[in-house]
Amino acid sequence: MTTVRIQGLGKRYGSTIALDDLDLEIGVGVTGLLGPNGAGKTTLLRCLATALAPDRGRVEAYGLDPAAAAQRTALRRRLGYLPQDPGLYPNFSAAALLDYVAVLKEMTDARRRRAEVRRVLEEVGLTDRASVKVRKLSGGMRQRLGLAQALLGEPDLLILDEPTVGLDPEQRMLFRALISRLGETRTVLLSTHQTEDVGALCERVVVMRQGRAVYDGTPRGLAEQAEGQVWLSAEAPDGNRMYWRNADGEFRTLGAQPPNGTPARPSIEDGYLMLLGPEIAAGVVAR
């Protein structure tokens, strides 16, 4: 079911184009946004989260258009947003911070609010840190607290800007379990630099580059973008190719077949790198 419609969205900062006539439809489930820094991921998420007004085009989520004041507030009632830099007040305890955000989300009844705060603390595994000040929490815990505030009020639309930054592998597992459960009934849109997150979590992935969507489909389909262009060889290939030495000591090459190269199964990362193409490839070769 389509819940979010984006049509002809454009945004520029001075001469830099952040979003370039972007069209996108997103539905219930977990959608991942991949792309290099400056591709427009954060700008897109901020437009959807009603934090930023686009220059051109239209955003509509659950039938609500944030350009109109009344609908914007209505959309905010159904929104959970984790900004890239949430700026959580360092002197607030985890519980006090969530309590404050719960008030901002119009939960006026103190008892109901505390119950909701306890619920989200439990969800992210921070129950035993409820009274610890934000500045004394580790990076991963702070990240989970940021996620907890987004979950307050059980929003239909969850927008998470790089939610897995700073999580260790165990926390990442918990995060994936939580997000995939939420994705059964809600629209979850998250940006990430981790292709493993996309493979493990997202039924759909959108690759952005220079303000446009250059791929929109399944993670498997993204891997297939590199089909027939991934090779393993015992010796380093010559010439201007993108390659690296993998953990088995073999050379993994992307692109044309190197001498004595045997075909290998492409990963999501291979597909992503092939999609981004020449610049990225040049960057890898330059190293």
Partner 1 sequence: MTSKEAATAWHVDAELLDAYAEGKLTPSRVMAVDAHLQACAQCRAAVPSDPAWLDHSWSLVADAVQAPRPTPAERVLRSVGIPEHRVRLLAATPALRWSWVLATVAVLSFGVVAASTGQAGARITMLLFLVFAPVLPVLAVATAYGPPADPMHELTATTPMAGPSLVLWRATAVVGVSMVMGAGAAFLLPGPGYWAVAWLLPAFLLCVSTLALATALPLPAAAGVFGGLWLVVVGGVAMSGSAVQPLFFGPSAQAGYLVAAAVAVAVLTARRRRLDPGETR
Q: Which stretch binds partner 1 (CB under 8 A): 45-53, 180-188, 194-202, 238-246?
A: 45-53
- Report how far residue 27's alpha carbon sits from residue 61's, in angstroms, rounded to the nearest whole number: 10
Rg for the chain, CA atoms, rounded? 21
Closer by beta carbon to partner 1, 87 or else 239: 87
Residue 73 sits in the site that holds partner 1 (CB under 8 A): yes
User: CA torsion sign, 51 to 187 to 140 to 134?
Assistant: positive
- Report how far residue 216's alpha carbon sits from residue 206's, in angstroms, rounded to the nearest whole number: 4
Residues with Cβ within 8 Å of residue 260, at least 6 apart in sequence = 233, 234, 235
Residue 49 sits in the site that holds partner 1 (CB under 8 A): yes
Q: Which stretch binds partner 1 (CB under 8 A): 92-100, 215-223, 249-257, 276-284?
A: 92-100
**In the complex, least distance from residue 49 CB atom to partner 1, rounded to whole angstroms:** 5
Q: Which of 102, 57, 52 is nearest to 80 (CA)?
A: 102
Among 17, 51, 200, 280, binds partner 1 (CB under 8 A): 51
**In the complex, least distance from residue 203 CB atom to partner 1, rounded to whole angstroms:** 25
- Parallel, antiparallel or unpaired: strands 79-82 and 157-161: parallel
- Report how far residue 227's alpha carbon sits from residue 242's, in angstroms, rounded to the nearest whole number: 15
Burial class (CB in 10 A: 0-12, 13-18, 19+), 150: buried
CB distance 153 to 173 below 8 Å:
no
Closer by beta carbon to partner 1, 149 or else 253: 149
Q: Which of 35, 31, 19 is nearest to 193 (CA)?
A: 35
**In the complex, least distance from residue 201 CB atom to partner 1, rounded to whole angstroms:** 23
Closer by beta carbon to partner 1, 129 or else 204: 129
Among 52, 178, 200, 214, binds partner 1 (CB under 8 A): 52
Closer by beta carbon to partner 1, 20 or else 269: 20
Footprint of partner 1 on residues 102-141 (CB under 8 A)? 103-108, 110-111, 113-115, 117-118, 130-131
**In the complex, least distance from residue 58 CB atom to partner 1, rounded to whole angstroms:** 14
- The residues that bridge with 205 in the sheet, in sequence order, are 32, 217
Binding site for partner 1 (CB under 8 A): 46, 49-53, 66, 69, 72-73, 76-77, 79, 81, 83, 85-89, 92-93, 95-96, 99-101, 103-108, 110-111, 113-115, 117-118, 130-131, 149
